[in-house]
Structure formats: structure tokens, C-alpha cells
Amino acid sequence: MSIRPITMIGHRALEQRTRKVREVTPELRTLVADMFETNDAADGAGLAAPQVGSRWRLFVYSCPDAAGVLRRGVVINPRLERFGGLELDEETLEGCLSVPGEGFPTARFRGARVRGTDLEGADVLVEDDGGVLARALQHEVDHLDGMLYIDRLSPALRREALDAVTSRGWRAEGLLSWDPGATTQEEV
């Protein structure tokens, strides 16, 4: 296992839809193990394959559900269902490992359910109503569809987010990833 660089806003991998996983290969198992290690090193709630430069339709998660129970796993070829109504809590800031150090209020559905498979091909159902996990499920599937959370912000907040990205120098040519094994989000 190894920690992989995390792609940052502006990287092409974050703007593309992912490809369905047809077979779990040894390389895919290594990718998933590396994604868990990378997510842990970055102190993330989840990590989608495009965030480490891969085009496969899968993500890992490690965060609490609405009951405060830590949930951890992988979902391959997820299908997302949202429920419970769209909510915007001005006090809850959503962040992203691909936009490190920033956070903005983002409208998300209260609940989410994801169906897919695990590395052994077994059916997986992950569901949460009102916890960090519900938000993470929606966030990670967005990544698999080529979307960042800042794409869901109001126009004013989106402008603020893009200005922050520019002021941090992340739009500088060549700065397309960061290494969570060597630094923290705040240092990026």
C-alpha cells in the first residue's frame, strides 16, 4: 500500500465521468488499498478514484453516520438515491480533498443511499439519514460524474471559492496534485 497524490481542482481527471468496473483485478485491489491509505493520511471522509487520477467508478469512505458510528468501506459502480429533501445549513461547511483547506455551505439532500458491489462482488448498500456519511455519499458520487462540490454552490459562493483557489496559487501551471503523506491540507 502507498499514499497517492491527490488531484486538485483543475486536473482533467476531476472533470471526466468514470468508467464502470467490469472486473476486480489485482491492480484494482491495490488502487482501493492505496485509496484507503491516502484518505486516512489526508484525514478525509471519503475519496473517489478520480481524486487519485483513476477513471474507475468507485470510492472509499470512512466517516460517521447520523448515529455517530464510524462507517468504512468501498463501493464499486455505485448507484445513488437521494431522499429527505434538499437542505442548506449555513453553519455546515463542506470541503474536498481536491480543494484543500476550503469549505463552503453546500446544499445536499438530508439522506442518501448507495448501492453497488464490494471487492468480492457482493452487493453493498450504504445508507444514512442526516449524518456526515449521507453528505459524503453524495459528494463522492459527484466526483465519479465529473463534478466538484463547488459546482453546487450558489453563484456568489462559487465565485468566492474560485477566488480562493486562485489566491492560493492552485491555478498555477503544473500544480495539479498534493501529497497527503508529505503535508497537511492547511499547508497546501
Q: 3-state SS string over the chain?
A: CCCCCEECCCCHHHHCCCECCCCCCHHHHHHHHHHHHHHHHHCCCEEEHHHHCCCECEEEEEEECCCCCEEEEEEEEEEEEEEEEEECCCCCEEECCCCCCCEEECCEEEEEEEEEECCCCCEEEEEEECCHHHHHHHHHHHHHCCCCHHHHCCHHHHHHHHHHHHHCCCCCCCCCEECCCCCCHHHC
Tell me which of 37, 140, 160, 187 is the catalytic residue: 140
- 96 in a known ligand binding site: yes
Distance CA 152, CA 127 (A): 22
- 143 in a known ligand binding site: yes
Say whether 140 is catalytic.
yes
Residue ranges of the annotated binding site for Fe cation are 96, 139, 143
Residue ranges of the annotated binding site are 96, 139, 143
Q: Active-site residues: which are they?
A: 140
